[in-house]
Structure 1
Amino acid sequence: MVRARVRQNGTMSATLPLFLDCDPGIDDAIALAYLCCQDDVDVVGIAASGGNVATAQVVENTRGWLSLAGRSDVSVHTGHSLPLARQALQTGPQASDAATGEAPEYADLTHGEAGRGYARLPTPSGPVSSVSAAQAWVDAAHAHPGQLLGVVIGPATNLALALEIDPDLPSLFKRLFIMGGAFNYRGNTHPTTEWNVTFDPESTAQVLAAFDRTNQEERLAHLPVIAPIEATEAVEMTPERLATILDGASASSADDRWHSVLAQLAEALRFYFEFHESDGLGYIAHIHDPFVLACALDWARQDTIASNATESERSHANPEETATSAPERGTAGELPWATTRWAPVDVELTGTLTRGETVADWLGRWDRPVNAEVIRAIDAPAFLDHLSTTLMKGPPA
């Protein structure tokens, strides 16, 4: 695990306990590289969930990218091989396609048959964790009550399964960040849906319902964040920016290992560029996932500073004066590099044309309380500059 590091003055840097659920995937790979560059993050574990490619391949990709970066010490947990709806159709360990339906559709056209474009990754070293992804979520939350930052940049299958193991999990999180959905926007999978949610709509719906239920019972300190594609598609990697990152890393003190990571990311992105061009979007790449991870980490750092600064004031204040008020529908939230709005959110599960669509009640028609902070726009140039600088420097020495 990535633990606290000793600063040059001899003091220990604070750590942010993080559990990441991902399905690499090319933009997931960039998120993993970004994570390897952080010196104050305790990576409690990583769930490798099927989505962009099948679960077994996702596990190998996750371990391969970590191994290339010299982070084989990070625990990788295998996710369930099927989304929730297909799990429900299983009749036993020998269930056939007739019982489970057709095999899940994966995004190999987008990410390549192996989910890593043209990149070549080393054979991962060390065993895969024997703890399932769902159980790892539970263990991480209990090990870091009130402090765990959960980030889901793939389907929410294993977090939903974790909530079945322990329905009280939402109260143990510091906050949950989800990359997924499309609100009043054309989809990137079906006409109105986004890939992560479309792959397993029931899981996202169950996760949101669980956090909503807990919030109504005991008022969570922070409601989940949802980063949909109408916002994250603004984060575009271009060949020019990629070249700048590679040149900057060459001019910096980054070691040979990090140069190898960036070289393989460039090969993965070459495939991603080609896919976007074939999809009529130009020779660019939408890199959704690194933004969501970076936004979560930067928010957590700011929240920790703010919490520490006011802790003594709260201890002497009137509880009625310090109680947090529930966010109101349509009001603005506050997240790094983002413009946000609070809203009640749910997932369509039965629509013949819209199954998997995320729906926000912007006008108050449902008479439901707010349950999420939805990112509506991103300051993409500012974030991309941050990402570029981070990748150029590489991991801390």
Structure 2
Amino acid sequence: MHAPKIPLFLDCDPGIDDAIALGYVLCRPDVDLVGVAASGGNVPTAQVTANALGWLALAGDTSTPVHPGSDLPLAHLSGERTGDPVYADDTHGPTGAGYAQLPEHSAPSPVSAAQAWVDAARAHPGELIGVVIGPATNLALALDIEPELPRLVRRLFIMGGAFNYRGNTHPTTEWNVTFDPESTARVIREFGAKAPVLPVIAPIEATEAVVMTPQRLNMVLRYEHGAGWHAWLEQLAQALKFYFEFHQWDGHGYLAHIHDPFVVAAALAWAHSAPAASAPAPIPWSRTATTAADVELTGTLTRGETVADWLGRWDRPDNLEIIRSIDSESFIAHLLTTLGKGPKA
């Protein structure tokens, strides 16, 4: 008798490492990808939506719904900030897919990303694994629709932040949080206070250890797989070529930090290992610590910085489990094998 599949709702902003994370999910036959939320971030929301649909279509998946997210971060929606958001097309290319050419695709779902979060949680109460690997705008807006959402989700996993670490956007800030600091602050606050298990965040000081190189990419390409998945991997290689070039320009060498796949994989591995109830279980491939944490919203130099109260000076309860380090070699071996084998029918 087969175990039930893990229901997963993925909020992403593809983005090249988001595409790898999405491909990883497609290679997991034990996962029910109930929906994808498209968050503006690496590129504008309309392009992110098209990218998510294009990567899915290239893999032969035309049934997973992709839900368009907000066009603007929370502070822009409220009028607190004006002007156009700044996107990361220098990092991911003008379309967010590097040099990849994605196919024509079906239309996105008419259901908004925020509503889709709520619908997925209500359909899978206490079972849904939620993963945010882009800005948290959609999830923050979902809390307006259903304030009890943190109690409906089995556990939330986030990629973002830089705790006591140099940033990859501003001197002390990470991209996903910088794009919409108010949304991350609200999500951490609400889920940290209400969820049955503390939310997990994987910041860049941990995820930068997950590195893709041309040699590792070639290991994946050498696997034998069907024509459809081979085409998907060929376009991934074109996307990664751009990503390698960006990292070389940025002083890291001809390689790529692929932050997002680890968060998805860790979430699914935790879901397999953890009891159905809220008893604690370790996050695979990780060393973690729990603490009170928050996001700086007003600093002229530090807006978007994630702050952990390691010394307990705030006298607040813990609201976050933070990935402090990753066993990157073990995880990368798992990732390459999974991508190499491709999707299972």
Report the alpha carbon displacement of residue 42 of structure 1 after superposing the two structures with TM: 1.0
Deviations 1:267-294 (A, max 9, x none): 0000000000000000010000001000
Give ranges in structure 1 of 5+ residues lacking alignment.
Answer: 1-10, 91-99, 312-322, 328-332
Report the alpha carbon displacement of residue 12 of structure 1 after superposing the two structures with TM: 3.5
Counterpart in the other structure of 2:177: 197
State the alpha-carbon separation in 1 of the partners of residues 2 and 58 from structure 2.
27
Correspondence 1:277-292 to 2 at 5 A: 277-292=248-263
State the alpha-carbon separation in 1 of the partners of residues 55 and 229 from structure 2.
11
Deviations 1:186-231 (A, max 9, x none): 000000000000000000001111113325xxxx1x1100000000
Max Rg structure: 1
State the alpha-carbon separation in 2 of the partners of residues 300 and 166 from structure 1.
23
Counterpart in the other structure of 2:208: 233
Counterpart in the other structure of 1:388: 336
Aligned residue type for 1:297: L
Deviations 1:208-255 (A, max 9, x none): 11113325xxxx1x11000000000000001111111111x2xx3x10
Counterpart contact for 2:193–2:319, Cα < 8 Å:
no
Aligned residues: 345
- 1:155 equivalent to 2:145? Answer no
Counterpart contact for 2:166–2:172, Cα < 8 Å:
yes
Counterpart in the other structure of 1:369: 317
Correspondence 1:229-268 to 2 at 5 A: 229-247=204-222, 249=223, 252=224, 254-268=225-239
Aligned residue type for 1:227: A
From 267, 270, 275, the equivalent of 1:299 is: 270
- 1:139 equivalent to 2:110? Answer no
Q: Could you list the structure 1 runs, at least 4 aligned residues long, displaced by more than 4 angstroms after superposition.
A: none
Counterpart contact for 2:17–2:260, Cα < 8 Å:
yes
Counterpart contact for 2:192–2:199, Cα < 8 Å:
no
State the alpha-carbon separation in 1 of the partners of residues 192 and 245 from structure 2.
40
State the alpha-carbon separation in 2 of the partners of residues 334 and 373 from structure 1.
10
Counterpart in the other structure of 2:297: 349
SS at match of 1:89: coil
SS at match of 1:335: coil
Aligned residue type for 2:329: P
Report the alpha carbon displacement of residue 101 of structure 1 after superposing the two structures with TM: 1.8
From 214, 217, 224, the equivalent of 2:194 is: 214
Counterpart in the other structure of 1:314: none
- 1:67 equivalent to 2:57? Answer yes
Give ranges in structure 2 of 5+ residues lacking alignment.
Answer: none
Counterpart in the other structure of 2:47: 57
SS at match of 2:75: helix
State the alpha-carbon separation in 1 of the partners of residues 4 and 146 from structure 2.
28
Deviations 1:112-159 (A, max 9, x none): 0000000000011x2211100000000011111000100000000000
Counterpart in the other structure of 2:32: 42
State the alpha-carbon separation in 2 of the partners of residues 295 and 145 from structure 1.
21
SS at match of 1:66: helix
Counterpart in the other structure of 1:359: 307
Report the alpha carbon displacement of residue 40 of structure 1 after superposing the two structures with TM: 1.1
SS at match of 1:375: strand
State the alpha-carbon separation in 2 of the partners of residues 213 and 35 from structure 1.
29
Report the alpha carbon displacement of residue 334 of structure 1 after superposing the two structures with TM: 2.0
Correspondence 1:102-113 to 2 at 5 A: 102-113=83-94
Report the alpha carbon displacement of residue 385 of structure 1 after superposing the two structures with TM: 0.4
Return the TM-score normalized by structure 2. 0.98
State the alpha-carbon separation in 2 of the partners of residues 56 and 196 from structure 1.
17
State the alpha-carbon separation in 2 of the partners of residues 342 and 29 from structure 1.
29
Report the alpha carbon displacement of residue 13 of structure 1 after superposing the two structures with TM: 3.9
Counterpart in the other structure of 1:319: none
Aligned residue type for 2:170: H
